[in-house]
Amino acid sequence: MKLNYLNKPLSAVGRWIATALFCVAAIAFVWQGSFFSNTAAWAGSTYMIATADAGNQVKDKVNKDAGRAKGFIRDTADKVEQTANKNARRVENATDNDNNLLERRAKSDRDLIEKRAEEDASRTQEAVDNTKNAVKRAVDGIKDAFN
């Protein structure tokens, strides 16, 4: 908390930089505005041509990255469950398996943690799928626009 005196000046500098970047982007957008009035410029621009191959490459990349993200999510949920089980076993060992209040509470907590880890992993994987599908739809829309 000793650096609080820096927060205000840094946030002001950050706002100034963000404003400057926004202005530069706006100027560049307006400068290239000829693309909006002349649609032939769109077709002639080497930067604006979307090919089916590029669209397929993007889709393949999205599939690959989504698969890796879902694998990471599953691994994280498994690690959380392993840790919960390890902690419950430690409590069991510390209480000599006499099924007392602490042991029952540890088992209850373990079950709750496992349940929530599965629910969170499922929701997060569904969000990854939704994002993947949105990107694919966007690529298809761009490909359709150029066909």
Same domain membership, residue 102 and residue 67? yes
Mean pLDDT of the chain: 76
Same domain membership, residue 89 and residue 40? no
What pLDDT is stored for residue 66 in this prediction?
86
For the question of whether the overall pTM of this predicted structure is more than 0.95, the answer is: no
**What is the DSSP-derived secondary structure letter of residue 49?**
-
**Nearest CA among 53, 57, 64 for reference residue 128:** 64
Mean pLDDT of the region 1-8: 55
Mean pLDDT of the region 115-119: 91
Domain stops at, among 13, 32, 49: 49
Same domain membership, residue 76 and residue 139? yes
**Which residues are CB-contacts of 120 (< 8 A; sequence separation ≥ 6)?**
77
First-to-last CA distance in the chain? 58
* Domain span including residue 11: 1-49
Exposed e or buried b per residue across 76-101, where buried means at least 16 C-beta atoms within 10 angstroms of its C-beta: ebeebbeebeeebeebbeeeeeeeee
Same domain membership, residue 57 and residue 42? no
Say how many domains are in the chain: 2
What pLDDT is stored for residue 57 in this prediction?
80
Mean pLDDT of the region 114-134: 90
Same domain membership, residue 54 and residue 119? yes
Mean pLDDT of the region 7-11: 61
- Write out the two tokens for 142: 């761009």
Same domain membership, residue 55 and residue 114? yes
Taking only the tens place, the pLDDT of each residue in 18-77 is: 777 666 666 666 556 554 555 555 555 444 454 556 777 878 888 888 888 888 889 999
Identify whether the C-beta of residue 114 lies closer than 8 Å to the C-beta of residue 88: no
- Phi, psi angles (nearest 5°) of residue 32: -90, 15
